[in-house]
Structure 1
């Protein structure tokens, strides 16, 4: 089930986010960059604000948050800011279900183009996004140590 996240989901979302980020940052960035009390507090504040805006979707499996996605407009461009799946749930369809729900929400909102940034060493996520139709941004291929991808949102089928 995919649903809008509520404040009651915040602890589970923050924990899932921390575990997912550690899976691809560890060995590439200093541990304190993603696994410090200050970083966890900053992340939690960001998720709390996104949940309050109603901008977070969560995938629930076996009564637990198994994945989470958030998007918002950044500098005038719809941006998929987060999409994380509990590493224990990888390759189970959770990410695809979340992505599909995001695309449907963008379609309802009339969004035609979406941007995201993916860590350059996160090849698993890059392959996932490629399967979903995301392509390298020809105008801005990189943002620091992240690759920039774009998705043309298909129109709603008549």
Structure 2
């Protein structure tokens, strides 16, 4: 099967909304309230993605999509860090990396991760960070396997009306 990773464009907003909802429902089962996950709004996600893609400042911020057989099956969003303890000129952040659950374990996530890490390095960042839900062991195992490690950062977030705890991972970048 033909796979490619490319820069996301505004026409990708709809499939990104679908991927975000499907991925969250599968990945966060047991980590977020089931009612919240069941009521995720793909149209709202699509609108947010349309805004994000319109505001991208390539190559320092933007999104990548993974395609298989001319169908978008995953994405990654990146930008300068917004963490107060890091320098946004030196540290890039992967704000999200998700694939459709049906392609988990097929190498799509690895291909996306490799490309987003390379892109962050080419954009001039020395390091990259990402946040992951505490308890999301599958994701944490994936990140460790891709050269990431916990850096001690932790945050509690109640922005969706319930408590989640996120831990930060970091890795150096090189071209």
| Common topology (TM > 0.5) | yes
C-alpha contact (below 8 Å) 1:24/1:121 kept by paired residues: no
Matches within 5 A, 1:59-78: 59-75=66-82, 76=88, 77-78=91-92
* Aligned twin of 1:45: 47
Alpha-carbon shift at residue 3 of structure 1 (Å): 0.7
Structure 1 stretch displaced more, 54-63 or 71-80 = 71-80
In 1: Cα distance, 2:137 partner to 2:147 partner: 15
Equivalent pair of 1:115/1:150 in contact (CA under 8 Å): yes
Which consecutive residues of structure 2, in runs of 5 or more, have no partner in the other structure? 83-87, 157-164
Check if 1:82 corresponds to 2:96: yes
Contact kept, 8 Å, 1:7 with 1:48, in 2: the verdict is yes
1:33 correspondence with 2:36: yes
Total equivalences in the alignment: 152
2:150 matches 1:147: no
Give how far 1:51 is off. Answer: 1.6
> Corresponding residue for 1:56?
63
Q: Cα deviation per residue 1:71-127 (whole Å; 9 max; x = unaligned)?
A: 011332421001001110011110111011111111111111111111112111111
Asked if 2 retains the 8 angstrom alpha-carbon contact of 1:134 and 1:151, the reply is yes
| Cα offset, 1:32, TM superposition | 4.3
Q: Distance in 1 between matches of 2:45 and 2:141?
A: 25
Q: State how far apart, in whole Å, the 2-side matches of 1:124 and 1:64 are.
A: 24
What is the Cα deviation at residue 44 of structure 1? Answer: 2.9
Question: Could you report, residue by residue, the CA deviation over 1:32-87 in whole angstroms, capped at 9, with x for unpaired residues?
Answer: 434435x5455333322222215110000011111100001133242100100111
Q: Is residue 77–residue 94 contact of structure 2 (8 Å, CA) maintained in 1?
A: yes
Q: TM-score, normalised by structure 1?
A: 0.87
Do the aligned partners of 1:119 and 1:146 also contact (CA within 8 Å) in 2?
Answer: yes
Distance 1:90 1:135 in 2: 21
Separation of aligned partners in 2, 1:33 and 1:114: 30
